[in-house]
């Protein structure tokens, strides 16, 4: 079993506005395995959050993780992925379904809604991505 811890964040300036994602992946010892940022164009906060989740899950699968701890500061996205909240927005539904499909590729997934203060590294990457815009 290979376990990874993911910190994911997405954000937009304007909602909708220029948006980016940030992902930090740690091994069980807390060592950074991978990090990345990406400018995703004009989007809402929730679309950016879902894109961050999707990219993080894809990277964890590439790293051959079997167990993951997924940490995100979006209560909405965390609760939707846990099945606590319904997905009502038609723009979000395909992203939600893609995230669930990727989650099914792991033996164990722990989805955690964390305080923004505990997600600073991923948030920094989001801001770098937005600041660089289409230059990435």
Could you confirm whether domain 1-66+115-136 is CATH 3.40.50.720? Answer: no
Q: So where are the chain's domains?
A: 1-66+115-136
Residues forming beta bridges with residue 5, ordered by sequence position = 26, 69
Write the pLDDT tens digit of every residue in 38-49.
Answer: 999 999 999 999
Write the pLDDT tens digit of every residue in 103-116.
Answer: 999 999 999 999 99
Q: What is the DSSP letter of 107?
A: S
Six-digit token string for 95: 């992203």
What is the pTM for the complete model shown?
0.96
**Residue 107 CB: number of other CB atoms within 10 A?**
11
Helices (H), 63-117: 75-82, 93-103
In whole angstroms, what is the distance from residue 62 CA to residue 58 CA? 6
Choose among 6, 10, 34: nearest CA to 123: 10
């Amino acid at each position: 079993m290979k376990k990874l811890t993911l910190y994911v964040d997405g954000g937009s300036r304007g909602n909708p506005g220029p948006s980016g994602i940030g992902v930090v992946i740690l091994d069980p010892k807390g060592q950074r395995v991978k990090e990345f940022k990406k400018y995703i164009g004009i989007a809402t906060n929730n679309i950016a959050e879902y894109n961050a989740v999707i990219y993080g899950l894809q990277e964890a699968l590439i790293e051959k993780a079997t167990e993951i701890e997924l940490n995100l500061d979006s209560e909405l996205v965390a609760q939707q992925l846990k099945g606590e909240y319904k997905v009502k927005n038609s723009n979000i539904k395909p992203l939600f379904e893609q995230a669930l499909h990727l989650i099914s590729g792991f033996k164990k997934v722990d989805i955690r809604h964390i305080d923004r203060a505990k997600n600073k590294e991923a948030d920094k990457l989001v801001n770098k991505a937005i600041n660089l815009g289409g230059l990435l």
